[in-house]
Amino acid sequence: MISADDLVALVENYNPKTDADKIRAAYDYGRQMHDGQFRHSGECYFSHPVAVAAILTEQQLDDATIITALLHDTIEDTKSTYREISERFGEEIAVLVDGVTKLTNLQLSNSETKQAENFRKLFMAMSKDLRVILVKLADRLHNMRTIKAMRPEKQQQKARETMEIFAPLAGRMGMQWMREELEDMAFRVLNPEGRASIIRRFITLQKETGDVVQKITSDMRHEIEAVGIEAQVFGRAKKPYSIWRKMQEKGIGFSRLSDIYGFRVITRNDMDCYRALGTIHQRWRAVPGRFKDYVSQPKSNGYRSIHTTVSGRDGKRVEVQIRTQQMHDVAETGVAAHWSYRDGERSENPFAVDPAKWISSLTEQFTAEEDHDEFLEAVKLEMYSDQVFCFTPKGDVVKLPRGATPIDFAYAIHTRIGSKCVGAKVDGIRVPLWTRLKNGQSVDVIIAEGQMPQPTWLDIAITGKAKSAIRRSLRELDRERFVKLGKELARSAFDNVGKKASDKVLEKAARTLRLDDMETLLARLGSAEITAHSVVQAVYPELSGDDGDEVEPKRSVVGLAHGQSFERAPCCQPLPGERIVGLARRGKGVIVHAIDCAALADYEEQPAMWIDLHWVDGKHPPVYSASIELTIGNDAGVLGRICTLIGERKANISDLHFLDRKPDFFLLSLDVELRDAQHLHSVMSALEAESDVAMVQRRRDPSLAETPAAAE
């Protein structure tokens, strides 16, 4: 364990104006509070906070962060209190220590839902002061460095938590060196055999080829110096976990993996970065598709660098990063560069991002997610993703995760633009909304008044911001629709027992069922989360016995008289899950229409024929036919793929006929047997995603409707 004087010396190396007495006081206070406590290794416990503080000095952080590291376990593990730390060291440090304590108490490796809930709390804590997570990351780094002293099951838990949460979080914050070290130490615990095999391969390779890193570094330095560029050149073999991950992603063995070495060129200015790039590309062959310019298009955490991959000695691929010293400082410390000191002054690095703005942009899109699992999905998507840079028609840059679509682009501009999106042009060409965007493309979003987000967009969008906004809009739309439907169902149910579904009655039912209010009750009723029978029973239990609105077990429609038969209208082909209404026909039973069927307009003057109906709750057999109209490309195998897609979704094609044939496309109609409306949505979504399908829509034929005269 280093002494207080040694720790102060580490800080004074980059900040001669440090408050040395305050750091020593914190050191003495922390040692006193932890006196008598020991780690699993047998060392005195205070050696851990001191090691955490020393790690943070490597990032040249301010006094408050260093002192917080020394005291970060005092509130949790000793008799120290928030008030005492505030009185001794100030409110700022007390708040930081309390924040680290709360993060420590989050059990981030529990079940998914609990993990998601804790992840939300972690992001909220980060939003208050990012230095809290810097201390926590350093704390985790030291714990991983000393993990061998823990029980095997504890090692596994900590390693998984590190791999899933802390390592990607460090990477997202721009602290790539910490991410790599955390990943590699977790890899050592989770897959020791895999890691050992990579290291053995490296040793064998070095025996066969000699010190490749030194040779390439020397060659690269010689070429750059020859054109008069002052630069430092460093090289290294990539970490075992980084290589293992590439082997898994590409499904290849070590011998076929080429870019296992990385090199870094540090220049004096931006211009020399591009000059060095040109020199390297003149000397070695560039690998197509492996060039990224994060200097002109920096990442959201401030990261700037030019990345390229070239074929080096013996055809071996090597990755090269080129950047200035200031860019390198941000690349090493990421968002933490905001608090870095140099020569006693807060470092004025023009590339360091404002932590408040950075964390605000990262958390803004997550705070609206009500569902914990959706929140976790959104966070992981953002943390693990690489980026592409696209342009608006005016030339503004929009940063998106790799794999993003025009829907993501539209929502990145503004939620209103996303919600009204009806199409997009990429580089001037109209493309489907599910098109994956590429670096440098220009995207023009086409909007229309009255357009609303569609459920299928959830399968198209990949960014957390877009998914959150789409879900929020769909919930609002569904709630309005379900409340209206719930009112109709409630009115019908209470009419059946001779009662009125007044607001007072429905409020009572809501209280009895422990729901927030009448509107929530109606929304739940309309969405089939509760039954009309249970609502009536909540108010009039004596009227909801066997003669209530219980249905016969084998009947699929509720609201028919005993013995009354029904058939689905061929004009609209209503499916379970859709709002329906019945038309009573003299001596012919009831014909069931979808509530939005155009044919119902012919019966507006005959209210006596109308019967309130709804589908039975629960799962239905796939026996309800619906027609789908498709426009497909006239290419070999397209129709076969369409049929396979439908079959994979457990739907059966009962009829198929062509409506139009052209040299380049076919228009056809399919009759598909389905369970319900959701089943139809699943089939249509799959068809829409097929690249050779130009148009998909449900086919309804008003000409098949029965006339009022025939119904009488």
**Average pLDDT for the chain:** 81
For residues 209 and 161, membership in a common domain is answered with no
What's the number of domains the chain is made of? 3
Over residues 7-16, the pLDDT tens digits come to 999 998 888 8
Residues 120 and 228 in one domain: no
Q: Domain of 35: which CATH number?
A: 1.10.3210.10
If asked whether residues 152 and 56 sit together in one domain, one would say yes
Q: Considering only CA atoms, which of 100, 175, 154 is closest in space to residue 131?
A: 100
The domain boundary, picked from 133, 155, 190, lies at 190
* More reliable by pLDDT, 528 or 584: 584
- End-to-end CA distance of the chain, in Å? 96
Answer whether residue 554 shows pLDDT above 60. no
Q: How far apart, in whole angstroms, are the C-alpha atoms of residue 75 and residue 54?
A: 20
Last residue of a domain, one of 327, 346, 365: 346
SS3 content of the chain, % helix, strand, coil (to 5): 50, 15, 30
Tokens of 105: 């108490």
CATH of the domain at 275: 3.30.460.10
Is the CB of residue 612 less than 8 Å from the CB of residue 492? Answer: yes
On the question of pLDDT at 552 being above 50, the answer is no
pLDDT bin (cut points 50, 70, 90) of residue 298 is confident
Distant-in-sequence, close-in-space partners of 57: CB < 8 Å, separation ≥ 6: 7, 10, 11, 13, 14, 66
DSSP 549: S
Task: Name which of 216-230, 283-297, 523-537, 615-629 the model is least confident about.
Answer: 523-537
Average pLDDT (644-656) is 82
- Where residue 163 falls (left for φ over 0; alpha for ψ -120 to 50; beta otherwise) is alpha
Instruction: For residues 105-123, give the mean pLDDT.
Output: 54
Residue 687: inside a domain: yes
Environment class of 111 (CB within 10 Å of its CB; exposed 0-12, middle 13-18, buried 19+): exposed
| Backbone phi and psi for residue 671, each to the nearest 5 degrees, phi listed first | -100, 120
Helical spans, DSSP H, in 368-527: 372-384, 406-413, 415-419, 457-460, 464-496, 503-512, 518-526
> What's the domain range around 219?
195-346
Instruction: Say yes or no to pLDDT of 106 above 80.
Output: no
In a domain, 692, yes or no: yes
Question: Does residue 380 register a pLDDT over 70?
Answer: no
The yes-or-no verdict on residue 127 having pLDDT over 70 is no
Q: Is the pLDDT of residue 103 over 50?
A: yes
Residues 72 and 173 in one domain: yes
Q: Find the mean pLDDT for residues 29-37.
A: 92
Residue 430 CB: number of other CB atoms within 10 A? Answer: 11
Helix axes 112-128, 372-384, angle to 10 degrees: 60
33/168 same-domain check: yes
Report pLDDT digits (tens) over 437-492. Answer: 887 788 999 998 888 888 888 888 888 788 888 888 877 777 777 788 788 778 87
- Please check whether residues 146 and 283 belong to one and the same domain: no
Q: Which two tokens stand for residue 321?
A: 């990063």
User: Taken in order 505, 508, 514, 520, is the CA torsion positive or negative?
Assistant: positive
Give me the helices (H) in 396-450, please.
Answer: 406-413, 415-419
**What is the predicted pLDDT for the residue at 105?**
67
Handedness of CA 461, 464, 467, 469 (dihedral sign): negative
pLDDT category, 545, cuts 50, 70, 90? Answer: very low
**6 CB-near residues (< 8 Å, 6+ apart):** none
**Strand order, beta sheet including 421-426:** 429-431, 421-426, 443-447
Q: Are residues 222 and 184 in the same domain?
A: no
pLDDT in tens, 400-441: 877 889 999 999 899 899 999 988 999 888 888 888 888 778
pLDDT for 561-578, tens place per residue? 777 788 899 999 999 989
CA dist 401 and 146 (Å) reads 35
User: What amino acid positions are annotated as catalytic residues?
Assistant: 76-77
139 lies in the same domain as 214: no
Residue 348 binned pLDDT confidence (cut-offs 50, 70, 90): low
Give the span between the Cα atoms of 272 and 88, in whole angstroms.
Answer: 50
Domain assignment of residue 131, yes or no: yes
Beta-strand ranges (E) seen in 350-408 are 387-391, 397-401
* Residue 626: per-residue pLDDT: 93
Token couple for 620: 């239905």
Q: Which of these ranges, 327-341, 541-555, 639-653, 657-671, has the smallest mean pLDDT? A: 541-555
Residue 392, domain member (yes or no): no
Task: Let me know whether 206 and 302 are in one domain.
Answer: yes
Query: Within this chain, do residues 153 and 40 fall inside the same structural domain, yes or no?
Result: yes
Q: Give the single-character DSSP code of 405.
A: -
Would you say residue 446 lies in a domain? no
CATH number at residue 673: 3.30.70.260
214 and 148 inside one domain: no
Count of beta carbons in the 10 Å neighbourhood of residue 413: 15
pLDDT in tens, 133-158: 889 999 999 999 999 888 888 899 89
Q: Name residues whose C-beta falls within 8 Å of residue 579's C-beta, 6 or more positions apart in sequence.
A: 485, 488, 594, 595, 596, 614
Would you put residue 395 in left (φ > 0), alpha (ψ -120 to 50) or beta? left
pLDDT at 226: 93
Maximum average pLDDT range among 260-269, 524-533, 703-712: 260-269
Q: Return the pLDDT at 456.
A: 83
User: Which whole number is the average pLDDT over 325-334?
Assistant: 79
Last residue within a domain, chosen from 171, 190, 209? 190
d(CA 240, CA 184) in angstroms, rounded, equals 7
Using the predicted structure, report yes or no on whether residue 276 has a pLDDT greater than 50: yes
349: alpha, beta or left? (left if phi > 0; alpha if psi -120 to 50): beta
Cβ neighbour number for residue 270 with a 10 Å cutoff: 16
Q: Tell me, yes or no, whether 665 lies in a domain.
A: yes
Mean pLDDT for the stretch of residues 39-64: 90
175 lies in the same domain as 299:
no
459 found inside a domain = no
What pLDDT score was predicted for residue 112? 46
Instruction: Flag whether 395 is in a domain.
Output: no
Q: Is the pLDDT of residue 384 over 50?
A: no
Residue 175's pLDDT band (boundaries 50, 70, 90)?
A: confident
Strand 292-293 to 306-311 pairing? antiparallel
Mean pLDDT of the 384-412 span: 80
Which 3 state secondary structure label does DSSP give 257?
coil
Predicted pLDDT of residue 89: 93
